[in-house]
Chain A
Amino acid sequence: MLARKGGYSRGVKVGVWLAGLAATWLAASPAHAADLADVKARGELRWGGDLQGGEPYVFEDEQHPGKIQGFEVEIADALAQKLGVRAKFMQNDWSNLVPALERGDFDVILNGLEETPERRARIRLSAPYYTYGETLTVRAGSPFKTLADLKGKRVGTLNQTVANDMLKASPLEVVLYEGQQEPYMDLAKGRTDAVLLDHVIADRYGCVLPELRCLPDDLARGHYVLGVGNDAPALQEAIDKALASLRESGELERILTRWKLWDARQKLPETVVLAAPVASAAAVTTLAAPVTPAAPPVRHFGRGHALLFLQGALITLLISVLSFALASPLGIALATLRLYTGRPGRWLSAAYVEVFRGTPLLLQLYVLYFGLADVVRLSPLAAAVLGLSLNYGAYEAEVYRGALSSVPHGQTEAARALGLSKWQALRHVVFPQALRTALPAVTNDFVALLKDSSLISVITVVELTKRMTILAVELRDWMTPGLMCAALYFVMSFPLARWARRIERSLEPIQAVEPGAEGEP
């Protein structure tokens, strides 16, 4: 597991982190979701979660950038110890945890994964490690008490949660959010009328706001469980055994108490709590919570955060530069195919451009990373670079096609009349002139790619924008991280635009005829 108290200097840590990044890049992910034997052989239990989930699940230690903490980190460590291996956290976008598990990116999901029949039908689910209640939060003084009261109203929640399923079954308008703080911010501002989410989230992010009130009764209860690959029955069995042992020894209770999560819900008999609406209000009101969780401490932007931001910016820059370095020759090749070859080449090039330009980049990334996982297993960074370059190659093809067409035919004829072959004429006469024409549009596309690269967070890469959202949730502040993020994008794109302008000027022939040149002998 990541040592949570490290003694290295920050510089060394960033270095180690970058080396790790390079290693991730080069190493393709393993072939399939590993079973127990693979985990033991590797000596590592890789568990997937999303740092954006924040406190108390799994989040970054602001004192030690690159280190993580949270009750799930401690549970993962304890489980791994029982299995005789180390735990290793794998960052993954929360909404894609299940496909990433199926793809084999990690061995288990451990990140507030709720037990539902649909999930059980798709992957293996472990025994529960936590019982949560669905808490309805409204504005103070609001008359709403049940979902039925909220008919036709706007109610916020997170995507892919049991709360979302419950809301969808009710006649009201569901508003979906990515992070757990935003629903409550919107509720406090009056943009929604209520929020339904797990009490773990509600207690920390909603009930603590003075404008809001959490209703005391759980609307339903359910379990957090681990997700295990379908082809890993032995791993599931071992984890269930380890969980039972942690429960018996009292270690699970100690971890949960330390994180102010232990309450009466944890002692309810198994049968009561299957994410079903709670039948009797009485059963719930007897649950006097022994601890009142406080809001997570307010954190401020510090040096550690700045370093994390720089890491994110570096990844964004690295991926953008590599992607564009591939997209440009691809675009030139496609444009050449389109303009200077026979019908099959022209058709192929046109089809490529229409397909890659006509479908969303996000979709292409999903297909590359998840859709093709059975055929070709790309590492997240490789998939990101490939996806961006394939997509931008289509745009560059059109830029270069326009630029090549703009070179007058007389130029090609003049080159051919000198004895240059078709390709020599292209290479020495047409291309150099087309490149100059293309430069402003190409620069424009690079700046666009720099920002489009934020989409790759869906395939687990933590780049600048994802880093910003993670920190915004952790700091409960969108302004500072947002401005920082914007500044970094600007710092990356502005000098490039200036540099491109300078090259352009140096390539531009001086249009004016020098004084006295006309008619001079």
Chain B
Amino acid sequence: MSHEPSIRLVGVSKRFGARQVLRGIDAEVKPGAIVALVGASGSGKTTLLRSMNGLETIDTGQIQIAGHTVTPQPSDAALTALRADVGMVFQDYQLFPHLSVLDNLCLAPQVVRQRPRAEAEKHALALLDQVGLADRHASRPSQLSGGQKQRVALARALAQDVNVLLLDEPTSALDSRTRDEIVGILRNLVKRAAHPLTLLLVTHDLNLAETLSDEVWTLVEGRLAHVAT
């Protein structure tokens, strides 16, 4: 398992109408690696990230990720199984405003993994502790600051013991001090994970890409132009 790549892209292409967004991408990510995906606006980096868990469908090629395979016509069941093993953090967090912080974390483990409430809660509280928010478990998302929301979103994405974490612009809405906190937490999470946790993050922030990641991929007009290690 640990020598198999965590993510493998084979000839991945995608077009929106007349615009070819991804043009035959081939790449691999080792388990436990942190990869930053950079590129100009419209270079296709967010589309590539969203293809990884099937939020966008690809036209040709395939994506192997966390032991699952995404094809151009994935079944609903295959996607659901994949998504339970691949976490995602959205640029605007998308916390559930009607649920407490704790319930935001417990929802998927209870509904998708059918875990008992007590078990889900225990795991969620441990995760909140790791991101430094154990004392805010009863708060509503609207009561949190931007950095706190980002940390809850991270914890929610990890609550199902995922192998891969996808992050869309994780620091774009944060001030520099909060950004540094998030970077520290991400590093810590990867280091302390019980099994190798692979991170794939889309960012505009070259500084973040260089300080945090093991590899930087640059997308230019839908092609992987440059891979730096």
Contact = CB atoms under 8 A, between A and B. Distances in A.
B145 interface: yes
Contacts of B132: 521
Interface stretch (B40-48, B117-125, B174-182, B189-197): B174-182
A519 B94 CA distance: 19
A420 B111 contact: yes
B103 to A, nearest CB: 10
Interface stretch (A127-135, A312-320, A347-355, A504-512): A504-512
Contacts of B76: 421-422
A507 B160 CA distance: 28
Contacts of A436: 98
B169 to A, nearest CB: 14
Candidate in A418, A428, A436 with the most chain B CB atoms within 10 angstroms: A418
A410 B90 contact: yes
A208 interface: no
A510 B107 contact: no
Interface in B108-148: 108, 111-112, 132, 140-148
Interface in A410-438: 410-411, 413-422, 424, 428-429, 432-433, 436
Given A418-B83, A418-B156, A419-B84, A520 B96 contact: no
A282 interface: no
A248 interface: no
A518 interface: yes
A417 B112 CA distance: 11
Given A411-B96, A519-B175, A418 B160 contact: yes
A418 B90 CA distance: 12
A419 B178 contact: no
A513 B76 CA distance: 38
Interface residues of A, number: 30
A436 to B, nearest CB: 7
B142 A414 contact: no
A48 to B, nearest CB: 53
Given A410-B90, A421-B80, A424-B111, A416 B147 contact: no
Interface in A464-521: 507, 509-511, 513-514, 517-521
Contact of A509 (B94, B97, B146): B97
A521 B147 CA distance: 8
Nearest to B92: A410
B148 A419 contact: no
A433 B143 contact: no
Contact of B107 (A428, A509, A517): A428
Nearest to B139: A514
A510 B140 CA distance: 8
B106 to A, nearest CB: 11
A507 B98 contact: yes
Contact of A413 (B55, B84, B112): B55
B80 A517 contact: no
Interface in B70-109: 76, 80-81, 83-84, 88, 90, 92, 94-98, 107-108
A414 B96 CA distance: 9
B53 interface: yes
A519 B147 contact: yes
Contacts of B84: 418-419
A421 B140 CA distance: 24
Contacts of B175: 519
Contacts of A419: 80-81, 83-84, 108, 112, 160
B98 A517 contact: no
B148 A517 contact: yes
A414 to B, nearest CB: 4
A146 to B, nearest CB: 75
Given A417-B53, A419-B84, A513 B144 contact: yes
Nearest to B181: A521
Contacts of B95: 414
Interface in A182-208: none
Contacts of B107: 415, 418, 420, 428-429
A517 B151 CA distance: 13
Contact of A518 (B53, B97, B111, B146): B146
Contacts of A411: 94, 96
Contacts of A421: 76, 80
Given A418-B107, A418-B156, 4 more contacts: A414-B95, A416-B55, A420-B112, A433-B98
29 contacts: A408-B94, A410-B90, A410-B92, A411-B94, A411-B96, A413-B94, A417-B53, A418-B83, A418-B107, A418-B157, A418-B160, A419-B81, A419-B83, A419-B112, A419-B160, A420-B108, A421-B76, A433-B96, A433-B98, A509-B98, A509-B143, A513-B142, A517-B144, A517-B145, A518-B145, A518-B146, A519-B177, A521-B132, A521-B181
Interface of B: 53, 55, 76, 80-81, 83-84, 88, 90, 92, 94-98, 107-108, 111-112, 132, 140-148, 156-157, 160, 175, 177-178, 181
Interface of A: 408, 410-411, 413-422, 424, 428-429, 432-433, 436, 507, 509-511, 513-514, 517-521
